[in-house]
Structure 1
Amino acid sequence: MLAGLLQGKPGRVVVLATMRSEEYRRYDAREESRLTGSDRDAWRIQRQVLHLAVKIRLERHWSMTERQRAVAHQGDPRIRLALESCDRFGLAEVVAAGPELLAAWENAWAPGANPRGAAIVAAAVDCRRSGLRRSASRQWLQDLHLPYLAERGGPDLQPEPFAEAMQWACKAAYATSGLLIGNYSQGYIAFDYLLNAPELPPVPDHLWETLLSWVEPADAYDMGLLAHQASQLSRATAALERARAGGAVGADFLLAIAVGDRGWPRQAVGELEGIVRRRQAELGPCHPDTLVARHQWAFFTGEADDPQAASTAFGALVVDAAAALGPEHTDTLAARHQQAYFTGEAGETCTAIRQLRDLLDDRLRLEGPDHPQVLSVRRSLIWFSSLHGDLAEAERQLQHLLTDAQRSLGPDDPHMLAIRSTHAAFAARAGRTSEATAAFAQLVTDRSRVLGHEHPHAIHTRLQKAQALVAAGHSEEASEELTQTLNDAQHVLEPGHRHTVLARSMLDRLQRP
């Protein structure tokens, strides 16, 4: 759409848009390292759109000079209110009536106020938080809001009629915006400001599942993409299965990745084999889309307990990616990292160490010391070096890495969680069983909170905690932990998954007389 506006037309065309800072931060270069496959492809396309723009950042608070100038315009009630509230809220928030609208939503739940309107707004907010980009119809909101109202008390709240509730929700404050934006024919969308309301609960299953049953395949793809990025893998696979069934472009590829991430790597390999063949036939073996599919196929081949085949596949991919994209392209560097990792997992640790050292030199030169991928390469290098050298020296290097990561990453960043996992594993190998048990227990809590209790990473950490408990002599507690972990693993992971096999073998050893 932008290309059509900006190319081949006489004169100057200006496209003006605003974007919340929380959304804009999703397109920071550091965010790319969190994404794979179609997630990363979509992210790059969206970021290219932003790169076309001249960006002007509007600070939330007025400067003293701006306040002085605004005094001359305080006849406008919005400007006057902004001046009165500038110590607490930002200019855009007040002029758009954001704080007032948020307060109106929160107060509307009171009995006899506008509880039905508040429930309608809650449903509209969660439609957006589910990944629905387009407006929701009036009929959708009429059906979707009912469980929200029931959860707050239903008839006891003395809810107003639906038509009155919609009128209240759409009423603009200071002639700017209402809690809902839109109309009967176009549908309705929740006001942006509400999406960042503090302490919003997770999107409930009743809305997500109902919405998924109604949307078009393209909407289901958006919902699946957002769920996958949020590590809500069961939701991601459900949405992407619907998107694929409806013929949404790219849904088959992202679905295969979500299936593999959910703990079914062999199934993912089978689906990706077909995708690679189709892309090779249609696009050629070295087209970027083919290379991305080959990367995911090789990765899940390794996850399916064949690290040697994965190492070989990544070796070939490195050669082709360097020729097609360049040796310094991010996809080439990513393939080199995976080649080294699976080479080490296949037992060739000396070769893996050499590959990782070369990669670290290149990434440091290209990305700087604080880039998440640089920290990830350092962690892999420390791990394989520890298998081939001095554990105490590896622990010292890991402590430096942890300090650097704490400076540049958030506590829930996947790279930070991985570094903490290595730190706990080193404590276990060094015989510091109490320290290892406590570290793994905290990591189980954090990974379960971030990823979900049944995510493969969380299950693996639970197994590591059980191993530490066994080493510390707490066999009964370890047996209980393993029994529950095995039950969960059998429920969510594909048959024969390495986590299930490990849990069963550990439990068998504990139960032997």
Structure 2
Amino acid sequence: MLWLDDLEDFLGAGGLTTIMLAGLLTAPPGRRVVLATMRTHEFRRFDAREESRLTGSDRDAWRAQRDVLQQAEVVRLARHWSAEERRRAAEHRQDPRITAALRAGERFGIAEVLAAGPELLAAWQNAWAPGANPRGAAVVAAAVDCCRAGLRRPVSQEWLRELHTPYLAARGGGDLQPEPFHQAMNWACAAAYATSGLLIGNYTRGYTAFDYLLNAPDLAPVPDHLWRALVRRVTSAEAYDVGLLAHQEGRPRQAAEALVRARLAGVPGADFLLAITVGDAGRPRRAAADLAGITRRREDQLGPRHPDTLAARHQLAFFTGEAGNPHAAASRFAALASDAAVVLGTDHPDTLAARHQQAYFTGESGAPAEAARQLRLLLADRLRVHGPEHPQVLATRRSLIWYSAAEPAQAELQLSELLTDAERCLGRDDPHTLAVRSSLAALTARAGRTAEAVASWELLAADRTRVMGHDHPHTIYARLEWARALAAESRTDEARTLLTQTLSEAETLLEHGHRHLRLARELLAALTPAEPGPA
């Protein structure tokens, strides 16, 4: 019997594959059993809905890991006891742990209570108080975010000594009266109720955050300083895993830093994923050039209709359009959709994705009516294949509303209904949800409700900064539209300040000629000149 605790730690680059699993289970003699555990949050990353968020090598890597999971017979363990389980447990009240679990069972799960999860989470949150254990809390925060950033192995004490300091500084540094580092480690490792500590491990093997903390509510996004520090320290294979997760989380700049290391070490697929992240980070022309080379190599080695070649053609077409040539992009996607339908099937996610992008770039080419026609057909197919709550169904609805010739009031109503659906199905911080809010804010501005538009764009800029980072192109765009709304509200000085600051930052992030840079300069030029100061 092979036991794989926290199965996600055994997946990814260099990890368990279906071929390895088959060889293990079929090799004579005797019967073999593989058991594994996996947190629900990790298991949900391989839900069919997640596939729709991925493209190219992201999707390939995701599918390789999902294929392993599909070999398993899944046993779901409910967080809470059933009525019958509570009745049986009541017969053993002499055990104080069972008594505590029965008492807290309506709020927390049995496993959480037996592992002292709620107590440990409260201890971590309370430790930030001045004079308590703020350095220990910072050490735990660093260990938690190492796991959330894709590191699948324990972290050494030396790493934690360095990685925790920005967390402590952000909370107040010396004003918190932090304890010495050795006391912080002892506190973080101390077991609660004889079960587990906030950190699990020892000096020799390294330390891992107690996994209950990874699902704590209201965790902030992994900060940039942690991404950068990890990239400097991890192995090349780990750099690919970190880069893949960063890209899936919508952090292309952090992903690119990790993937450069992976590519230089020759990790398979790193060059493809790196090209995508470079484009997503605001350099679409560079991405298109790199992807053109990758596509040619795959066409020569695998043929033009091989699934890997189709994935490269998709990304090449997309960044061709993002670089300012929507006509060429629409043409490429039309050919790709046709080939994908033959090779993969008409209902395959990649085929449907190519059709969506064909429609989008058709609209961006100046043919909104034709784009809307294509999107209506696509929406019908996606509803049939996926159902109404699938992320790509919601994305198709948004595109269709945008390119349809509906009255502005009707379009706003439709987008408001879509926003409600997106928040319910995907969550407030999902990229699809934020995109719907962007479209709704744009229609608000077009309707002349300038004060409402200012508030909408300001809030969206703040949320995108929090979720995606200040340097993401979507964040930059939201700030530019916020400035446009300020100018329409006759708040010229505020608009100028925001535009100047945003342009200065964007010039260091986006490639020359990027459409966001052009928009920023156009908006600045349109502002009335500043009043001269006193002589």
Output the CA distance in 1 between the equivalents of 2:214 and 2:424: 28
| Partner amino acid, structure 2, of 1:384 | Y
Report the alpha carbon displacement of residue 168 of structure 1 after superposing the two structures with TM. Answer: 6.0
Output the CA distance in 2 between the equivalents of 1:359 and 1:142: 53
- Go from structure 1 to structure 2 and tell me whether the alpha carbon gap of 1:12 and 1:265 turns closer, same or farther (over 3 Å shift): same
Aligned residue in 1 for 2:395: 376
Alignment deviations for residues 103-161 of structure 1 (CA, whole Å, 9 cap, x no partner): 5555667899877665544433232123211222344345545666776549954537x
Report the alpha carbon displacement of residue 392 of structure 1 after superposing the two structures with TM. Answer: 4.3
Output the CA distance in 1 between the equivalents of 2:159 and 2:461: 39
In structure 2, which of residues 499, 515, 519 is the aligned counterpart of residue 498 of structure 1? 515
Aligned residue in 2 for 1:196: 215
- Go from structure 1 to structure 2 and tell me whether the alpha carbon gap of 1:318 and 1:84 turns closer, same or farther (over 3 Å shift): same
The answer on whether the counterparts of 1:110 and 1:157 sit within 8 Å (CA) in structure 2 is no
Output the CA distance in 2 between the equivalents of 1:85 and 1:307: 58
- Go from structure 1 to structure 2 and tell me whether the alpha carbon gap of 1:372 and 1:116 turns closer, same or farther (over 3 Å shift): closer
Report the alpha carbon displacement of residue 75 of structure 1 after superposing the two structures with TM. Answer: 4.5
Aligned residue in 1 for 2:206: 187
Question: Sequence identity of aligned pairs in percent?
Answer: 64
| Partner amino acid, structure 2, of 1:484 | Q
SS of equivalent to 1:57: coil
| Equivalent residues, number | 509
| TM-score (norm. length: structure 1) | 0.89
Report the alpha carbon displacement of residue 287 of structure 1 after superposing the two structures with TM. Answer: 1.7
Please state if 1:216 is matched with 2:216: no
Output the CA distance in 1 between the equivalents of 2:436 and 2:121: 39
The answer on whether the counterparts of 2:287 and 2:319 sit within 8 Å (CA) in structure 1 is yes
Please state if 1:448 is matched with 2:465: yes
Output the CA distance in 1 between the equivalents of 2:377 and 2:202: 59
Aligned residue in 2 for 1:303: 322
- Structure 1's unaligned 5+ residue stretches are none
Aligned residue in 2 for 1:425: 442
- Go from structure 1 to structure 2 and tell me whether the alpha carbon gap of 1:174 and 1:283 turns closer, same or farther (over 3 Å shift): farther
Output the CA distance in 1 between the equivalents of 2:517 and 2:374: 31
Output the CA distance in 1 between the equivalents of 2:159 and 2:498: 44
Please state if 1:332 is matched with 2:351: yes
1:127-276 map, 5 Å: 127-145=146-164, 152-153=173-174, 157-159=178-180, 162=182, 169-170=188-189, 172=191, 176-200=195-219, 203-204=222-223, 206-276=225-295
1:13-24 map, 5 Å: 13-24=32-43
Report the alpha carbon displacement of residue 496 of structure 1 after superposing the two structures with TM. Answer: 0.8
SS of equivalent to 1:34: coil
Output the CA distance in 1 between the equivalents of 2:410 and 2:134: 62
Aligned residue in 2 for 1:29: 48
Output the CA distance in 1 between the equivalents of 2:346 and 2:26: 32
The answer on whether the counterparts of 2:221 and 2:466 sit within 8 Å (CA) in structure 1 is no
More deviation in 471-480 or 233-242?
471-480
Output the CA distance in 2 between the equivalents of 1:289 and 1:21: 30
Output the CA distance in 2 between the equivalents of 1:183 and 1:113: 23
The answer on whether the counterparts of 1:314 and 1:336 sit within 8 Å (CA) in structure 2 is yes
| TM-score (norm. length: structure 2) | 0.85
Aligned residue in 1 for 2:6: none
Report the alpha carbon displacement of residue 209 of structure 1 after superposing the two structures with TM. Answer: 3.2
- Go from structure 1 to structure 2 and tell me whether the alpha carbon gap of 1:205 and 1:70 turns closer, same or farther (over 3 Å shift): same
Report the alpha carbon displacement of residue 206 of structure 1 after superposing the two structures with TM. Answer: 4.9
The answer on whether the counterparts of 1:111 and 1:158 sit within 8 Å (CA) in structure 2 is no
More deviation in 1-10 or 44-53?
1-10
SS of equivalent to 2:333: helix
Output the CA distance in 2 between the equivalents of 1:489 and 1:110: 38
1:34-113 map, 5 Å: 34-103=53-122, 105=124
Report the alpha carbon displacement of residue 458 of structure 1 after superposing the two structures with TM. Answer: 1.9
- Structure 2's unaligned 5+ residue stretches are 1-19, 531-535
SS of equivalent to 2:207: strand
SS of equivalent to 2:208: strand
Aligned residue in 1 for 2:296: 277
Alignment deviations for residues 275-294 of structure 1 (CA, whole Å, 9 cap, x no partner): 11222223222221211111
Report the alpha carbon displacement of residue 300 of structure 1 after superposing the two structures with TM. Answer: 0.7
Output the CA distance in 2 between the equivalents of 1:179 and 1:399: 42
Report the alpha carbon displacement of residue 202 of structure 1 after superposing the two structures with TM. Answer: 5.0
Output the CA distance in 1 between the equivalents of 2:365 and 2:442: 19
Alignment deviations for residues 178-236 of structure 1 (CA, whole Å, 9 cap, x no partner): 43334555433222112234555554555443332221101111121222222233322
Aligned residue in 1 for 2:524: 507
Output the CA distance in 2 between the equivalents of 1:378 and 1:202: 28
